[in-house]
Every structure is written in C-alpha cells, then in structure tokens.
Structure 1
Amino acid sequence: MNQDLSAAEILWMCLMGGLLVQMLFALWNAACLPKIYSFRKSSITPPDTLVSVLIPARNERLHIEECLESVLASHTKGFRMEVLVLDDRSEDETAALVQAIADRDPRVRLLYGTDLPAGWMGKSHACHRLVQEARGEWFMFVDADVRVMPDAIRQTVAAGSAQGGGLVTGFPYQVVKTWMEKLVVPMMMFTIISHLPIFMIRRSANPMFVAATGAFLLIHRTSYEASGGHAAIQGHLVDDMSLAKAVKRAGHPVMLADVHDVTSTRMYQNGEEVWNGYKKNMYEGMGRRDVLLLGTMLMYSVMYIVPPLGLVVGLLTGNATSILYGFTGTLLGIAVKRVSDHVGGQPWWLSLLQPISMACVIAIGMASWQAGRSGKGYVWKGRRYS
C-alpha cells in the first residue's frame, strides 16, 4: 500500500469498499425475490378449495369499503372465497360500512371484537378471533388499508400450493403522499434488500432468516395450527414476524414474494402516524436487543450519513479528499436505495433523498429504543403497549 496514504484516506477507502459490497449484495438479493405472478399458472388443488380472507379492522372507515370491494372483485376461478371482517371495537362507522356490504354480498361476514384479554396484543387477538370463525383451508390475512388487484389472491394461493403449504407473504406497493411517508416508508424495503439474504428465507429452516408483513399474508390451516397460531404469540408486538418465525420452527416453509404489482396500501396518513408506527416496530422487531438496534443505527450513520457530511465539509473547506470520497460514498448509498426503491415500485428520484431518509430512520430507531427501555411503551390506534 502506498505509504503516502493518510489514515483518513485508508478509512475512506474501507468505507467505499463496504458500500460497494452493499450495493452488489442488494442487486443480487433483489434478483432472488420471487415474483408472485410467476405462480399464476400453478394449479390450486382441489378445485373447490375454500380461501378465508380475514380482515381485522379498527377505526378503518377511510379504508374498509375500498379494501372489501377490491377483495370481492377478485378472480376466484379454481377456489371459493369467504370474507370475514372483525370490527375491533371501532369508534367510527367501520362496522356499519362492513354490514352494508355484507347485506348485499353473502360472502362477507361481520364479526365483533370483545374486550382485550390480559396478555394479548390487539391485532393478534383480532386475527385469532377471525381464525376461530374461518372455515377455509387457506387463511389470507389482509389489512384494511390494502387494495388487491383481481388476480392477487389467486396468484398467492397458487404460490402457496406450489410450495406445499406454509406461509406466503409480500410487501404491497406503498402509496406515499406526505413528505414523511416518502422519506421513511420505502426504507422498509431498503432494510430487507440491504441485509436479509432472501434466498435463505425459503431454503433455511432457521427462523433468523425471515421477513413478513401482516398486511398481506397467506397461511395454510395446517401450518397455522402447527405453529400455534396467534395464541402462541399473543404478547408479541410485531405479530407478523413472530408468526412467520413460529411457522419455520414448526418445520413448515415460508416464502417472501414480490407482490407490489398486485397489491397496494397507504399504511399511514401523516407524519405522526409514520413516526408512531415505525417507533412501535423497530426495537420490538429486533427482539428488544440493544446491541443489535444500536449497532445497526451506528452502521447506518457511518455508511450513509458520514459520506454526505464529508462531501459538505470538503466543499466548505476545499478538501479534495473529502470531496472525492464523500461524493463517491453518497452516490453508492443512493445506488443501494435505488435498488430497493425499484423493487418496491417507487420513483427513481426518491433515492436522491437517501441521506435524509436514513437520518429519519436513525432518529425513529433511537426513539423506539428509548421508549422500549424506559418502559413508556408505544401508542397505536388508541391503545398503549409496553
């Protein structure tokens, strides 16, 4: 190595190498993500298979009608469908809107939530109640803010049939309107594409290799029962990940698929909801492991915040080394974000805001850690979770 290289230059070069490896991993990882439409020609057997679409709903008057209408418009050649909606003690018109649709379509049934038992999380209990009433061979969990294209459910059941049961899930296309949504929501896909080896989700029985979203999640009845279902994870705040891990522990397969072409959702309506939603999930999603969360936030700071800061400092001071490496590192970080945004169907220009997005994620991560460690807990949909 050139002896004229300073310690700072060596550190910069190591950082550039790490970012280059990260970009190459993201490209390879994205290529490993199976497309849900690739299973559309798979047969669903037997042809009279009943699929139970299960929708937990709490204060969802803004979403529930469009969600139900999109589900009911699904192509169901090769299977039958029932749709169960549980009104989880809503304080708005959710129940009335569902009942109006049920009155004109016999496939829809409205259930009513009860007081939350001790030790249960709200959504897990709602899903548990839905399963108790479901008659289907497959359970298709759909969040009330999700919209499905006509072939979405059929293609997902085909994928589940092709893998012989188990669980199939995928992240819907994220509709983002406010600036906080644009900056933070697509980072969910960034995390998966950047860090989780997707091919290991299907090939490894280790529950460490798993990703799931309860917004759009299909599970075979046998696999659900073998995993213990939501009763086995009743106290887990991040229920979707916990259920997927339980399925793997039971020896059943799990598939993460690309479903953004056939599903969409707007998870949050404003910046406050984005903050609270991610704050609720980040520390819990990492198993409340301080070292893992804080280590990840530190790694993000070094890899994605230091380069743009170095570029700014270099421009202000005229330091050519800082300008060169800061600019190169910033471009590599943007490139990684562009890969994940492409997978999620987001516009190309959003990746240019990657340093700001990362700063927001780090801030929410630290807030999540502080709330979890202090015992203050999290507030979501009018309920407080500790």
Structure 2
Amino acid sequence: MEIVLWSVAALLSLQLVFAAWNVRQLPLFGQLGHSSGKLIPEEGVQLSVLIPARNEQGNIIECLQSIQRCLPANQSDKRIEVIILDDRSEDETARLVEQFSAEDQRFRLVRGLEKPDGWVGKAYACHQLSMQARGAWYLYVDADTRLRQSALETVLQAISGQAIGFISGFPEQQTGSWLEKLVVPMMGFTIACHLPIRLVSASSDPRFAAAHGGWIAISRATYEAAGGHEANAGQLVDDVALMRAVKRAGHPVVLADVRQQVSMRMYHNASEVWSGYKKNIFAGVGRSGLLLAAVLAIYVLLYLLPFMMLLVSPLYPALLPSALTGYLLGIAVKAVADRSQGQPWLLALFIPFSIGAVVAIGAASWLSAKFGTGYVWKGRMYE
C-alpha cells in the first residue's frame, strides 16, 4: 500500500504542476477586443442580451436590475437590447418581467412556445430568443446571473472589430449551503486539472471545449453557421454542445475569465445542487458509463484513498508519511483551482468530501439514465 500511496503522490505532483500552469492560460475577458476594422455597424443594435427564464421569480428582478445599471444612461442609445423569454413559467416570472419592462422599455418580454418533442427546454428557449434578436452579437445570460458595473461596455469592447466568434466563461460562483460549497467549485477544478485551456481556442478539435450557459457571447453569423441551438436540440449540456458546433463550423472560440463582469448563485440548497449536477454529469461525459466510471475511479484513487489511509494510519504508522503527502498534495491542487475561481482557499481542506459528493452524484446520474428514471429540472422531465 505504501508503494501505491507514493505513486499517487507522484501523480498528484504532476497534476499540481499542470493545474498551476493551466489556470494561467485563461485570458481576462476585459483584455479581449480589437481596435481595427469596425465590422460591427455603428448604427443599429450591436448586442442583444438574451435571458431564458423558467420559474425564476426569485431571481429575475435582481438580474434585470443588474443589467439596467450597465445600460447607457442615455435611453436613446440603441446599441443594446434586452429580451427576456418566459419559458412557460408556472410562477410569477412573466408578471414580474412585464411590470419591469413597462417601466423601462429597453427590456422586452417574449412569451415562449410549448417545447416541441426532441428539444431540451433551455435550448428551445435560447432558440426562440435568437429568432427575436436584432443584434450583430448575442449575449446569453441566465436569470441567476448578476452583471457588474460596466459589464456590457466590456462586452462591446471585446466584440469590437469581430464579425464572427464565440466567447464564454465561468461567472464568479456564490455559494451558501455546504453542498454548494463542496460541489459547485468542482466545475473549475475539473477544467483546471483536465482541460488544456490553451487548446480551447488554439485547437479546432471539438473535444477541447468548455462553456457556461450563464455567459455566452456569440455573433449572429457564427450562431447561424453553427446551426444555433437547433443543431443540438436534445443536448442537456447545451452550452458545451454549442461551442463544439462552432468549432466544427470553423469559427473562433475563446474561454475567458469573466469573474470581473458577472457573478451568480446557481443553486440555493442541497436539493438543487443534487438535481442540477445529477442532470448534467452523465450527459457531460457523452453518456458513456465507461468514461464516467473511469473518471470517478481516478478521483477516488487520487483524492479519497490518501485521506482514507490517513484516517487508519494510527493503526498502521508506516502509512502516515505517504498518506499525509498525498492528502496535502490533493489540497494543493484544489487550492490552485479554487484560487483561480475566487473561492476561499479553506475549501481545499475538504477535497475528500467534495470528491465523495461528486462520486455519489455521478453514480446517481448514471443510474437514472440506465434505469430510465430520468431527471427532473424546473418542473420538466428529461431522459
């Protein structure tokens, strides 16, 4: 067992070096943009801010207020339009948006149609929004996002001089419950440890893709060339599917650090965390049970085994040096990933519990697909 643990420590040392290098490859969103060749028209709508909203009465007004603070003070400035699609909500979402848009006509409410067979709900909502948009570029944001001051001007700067392209990034994640703190930052951990960030933009291979539906800027020309959301109508992980479609179309993509522009709280309790990740994990590995099992097994080996052996080391003192080394290296890897996301470094101490939660949710995600029980999200059932 000592040999196994020292081998794990060696692998974690390599993982730490890679993660520390990898997170430095993420460009700041505010540093994107070009000064030459104004390909976006000076007149008319340059940017359509598009918000799919289903059962978001607790989120939508704060989201709209944050966007409102970013809009130009001069209401005659028509560079930016904001469209909210009520995706057949069962709560007060539509009424709240209607009241808000009546007071500020820069915001427009669209009533969503019934989802056709074969479509995932959010993908169809985004598709309908694209049909309403007039901008040269679209900015998709979720109802639980909160834009920071000057975020939209930064978007206009980033897309200046570009007729085509796709830009996404992971908003700063706000967490409350303990399961949120343990699981939500694991998105960034996975990217830091396993996805060569430089190859997202440098390679045309669609396997090197990562995106977040809470912040996607895509030009109209690129959206149409990639087939839009319609090209992947049934994909649960629609944001990554869209980036891959853009790559296949030969258009440029960028994954950027957008934490200075936008924050969000994706989930508000443990139940939402469980349901949201359960819906996405199996789909996120291409619905491959073998790949999911391999990933989870590697996580157990690297991050759970040293901690478990550390717990039993009082009975087997010879295991203490190797087990402690592996545990501390695992903490270091998690700390690098957490720091790149603006998360408290103390969360890294709980890496075994984060891994344990991900393994449990991943297993539940696979079992739901295998036995046909499906996934429930925002009142809809998915297989």
- TM-score if structure 2 supplies the norm length? 0.95
Q: Is the 8 A contact 1:54 1:130 kept in 2?
A: yes
Partner of 1:5: none
**C-alpha separation in 2, matches of 1:22 and 1:180:** 25
Over the matched positions of the two proteins, sequence identity in percent amounts to: 49
Residue 2 of structure 2 aligns to which amino acid in structure 1? E
Q: Is the 8 A contact 2:179 2:273 kept in 1?
A: yes
Match in the other structure for 2:143: 144
Superposition pairs of residues 11-30 of structure 1, within 5 angstroms: 11-30=4-23
| 2-structure distance, mates of 1:161, 1:79 | 16
Q: 2:68 aligns with which of 58, 67, 72?
A: 72
Distance in 2, Cα, partners of 1:13 & 1:274: 34
Match of 1:337, as an amino acid?
K
Corresponding residue of 1:373: 370
Tell whether 2:206 aligns with 1:213: no
Pairing 1:237-316 to 2, within 5 Å after superposition? 237-315=236-314
Query: Following TM superposition, by how much is the alpha carbon of 1:318 offset from its aligned partner in structure 2, in angstroms?
Result: 4.1
Shift of the alpha carbon at 1:116?
1.2
1:171–1:260 CA contact under 8 A, matched in 2: yes
Deviations for 1:240-275, whole angstroms, at most 9, x for unmatched residues? 111110000000111110111221111011100000
Of residues 100-109 and 196-205 in structure 1, the stretch that sits farther from structure 2 once superposed is 100-109
SS of the aligned residue for 1:86 comes to strand
Report the Cα offset of residue 276 of structure 1: 0.5
1:28-74 CA distance string (max 9 Å, x none): 00100001122378577444452000000011011101101111221
Distance, in Å, in 1 between the alignment partners of 2:23 and 2:35 is 23
Structure 2 CA distance, aligned partners of 1:301 and 1:113? 43
In structure 2, the gaps of 5 or more residues are: none
Tell me, what secondary structure is at the counterpart of 2:79?
Answer: strand
Inter-partner Cα distance in structure 1 for 2:35 and 2:121: 36
Q: Distance in 1 between matches of 2:78 and 2:196?
A: 33
What is the deviation of 1:161?
A: 3.9
Q: Distance in 1 between matches of 2:161 and 2:181?
A: 35
User: Helix, strand or coil for the counterpart of 1:73?
Assistant: helix
**Range 159-168 or range 192-201, more displaced:** 159-168
| Alpha-carbon distance in structure 2 between the residues aligned to 1:294 and 1:359 | 14
Query: How far apart, in 2, do the equivalents of 1:158 and 1:175 lie?
Result: 26
1:312-323, aligned counterparts within 5 Å? 312-315=311-314, 317-320=315-318, 322-323=319-320
- Say whether the 8 Å CA contact 1:51–1:81 is kept in structure 2: yes
Where 1:147 maps in the other structure, the secondary structure is strand
CA contact (8 A) 1:40 1:154 kept: no
Describe the SS at the equivalent of 2:55: coil
2:355 alignment counterpart: 358
Question: Which residue of 336, 340, 343 maps to 2:337?
Answer: 340
Name which of 15, 26, 32 aligns with 1:33: 26
Amino acid in structure 1 at the alignment position of 2:21: W
- Contact 1:42–1:159 (8 Å) recurs in 2: no
Amino acid corresponding to residue 24 of structure 1 in structure 2: V
Pair 1:55-2:51 in alignment: yes
93-102 or 47-56: bigger deviation: 47-56
Give the structure 1 partner of residue 130 of structure 2. Answer: 131
Secondary structure of 1:346's aligned partner: coil
TM-score (norm 1): 0.94
- Which structure is higher in RCO with an 8 Å CA cutoff and minimum separation 6? 2
In structure 2, distance between residues paired with 1:164 and 1:202: 17
Q: How many residues are matched?
A: 377
Aligned to 1:4: none
Matched, 1:331 2:324: no
Contact 1:145–1:267 (CA<8 Å) still a contact in 2?
Answer: yes
Structure 1 residues 325, 76: CA separation in 2 closer, same or farther (over 3 Å shift)? Answer: farther
Q: Unaligned 5+ residue runs, structure 1?
A: 1-7
Q: Which residue identity is paired with 1:382?
A: G
Check whether the contact 2:115–2:121 (CA below 8 A) recurs between aligned residues: yes
Q: Deviations over 1:221-254 (max 9, x none)?
A: 0000000001111111111111110000000111
Q: Are the aligned partners of 2:226 and 2:242 in contact in 1 as well (CA < 8 Å)?
A: yes
Structure 2 residue aligned with 1:204: 203
SS at match of 1:261: coil
Farther off after superposition, 74-83 or 181-190:
74-83
